[in-house]
Structure 1
Amino acid sequence: MADISAHSNSDREENPLERQRELMELLSQETRHSIIQALLGHPEVLASADEINHFIPSKSKKTVDEQLEVLVDAEILGIYEYPPNKEKRGLPWKFYGFTEHGVEIIGDFNYLKGVPMARAVHRKTRKPEKIDRHETAPRPALPEPVRVAFRRDENSD
């Protein structure tokens, strides 16, 4: 029986339509979709958990944190650390952002076309002082392919 389940898993990985369906399900779940939208709109494309939570007020922090973990486990998002901020009170040192694989996936599903609108919404959203401070905090550099994907869309902004 274990051989059958292992075989069906490899079939699923080899079946592009099944893989696409699974990815669509992963990306379209309400909280995960909101997380992706929050990151697409962020001017630095890297956001602290507090920033992401601010942009998803209808969900509990616990729910958002659980879905962030799902997206990290799926390698859509990565955790980017900026250790110098650990010593600075009130500044985040851990940020969430797209991985190279994640950029490929959101590109395949045309999410990158929504970046200008997501950024416009982000700019117009009222933010408390703590979120403004998080948004302007120093953060690590994104991998070059991720930076390039979002730089391409800055011209449309």
Structure 2
Amino acid sequence: MSRLRIPAHPAYLRVVRASAWYDLAVTAGFATPWTYALVHDALSSCGNALGLGALPELDPWQVLFANLMGSVVVVWAVLRIVRPLPEHGLFDGIARTLFATWQAYALAHGVSRLLWLFFGAEVAFGVLQLVPWRWARNANLAVNDAGPTDGRPLGTASR
């Protein structure tokens, strides 16, 4: 059985790290109740100024979930900055697919159109991190379909 080739090219790891820096910059303010109140007010003002809609008033449940999300994403971002691995890109791409799905659901249900800015970033980083895995999988399948290059039947070892 052959191992799946993984996208370990330095350019891919730069994408993994760049997505982590983006996450850190965007979500650090969500990690505490005090910073989230500031971010909430700034986003709401920005949404109003751009005609995209304000955020709903703060309530304790919203703050709690924003803080939970912010804390987890900050830790995940720091891991990818400090030690970017191809597998981190794969899992981050999957997480971004989930985030984008729920953002699309929220947009379909009338949240501030300001969310489109974040949705676009989720989709872009998700594609950049998942497509190389698809290419690697296809390359691996092509190699396996071709069989051994020394004339031996598949599954036999050389002596």
TM-score by length of 2: 0.27
- Whichever structure has more strand as a proportion of its residues is 1
- Whichever structure has more helix as a proportion of its residues is 2
Where relative contact order (Cα < 8 A, 6+ residues apart) is larger, the structure is 2
Larger radius of gyration: 2
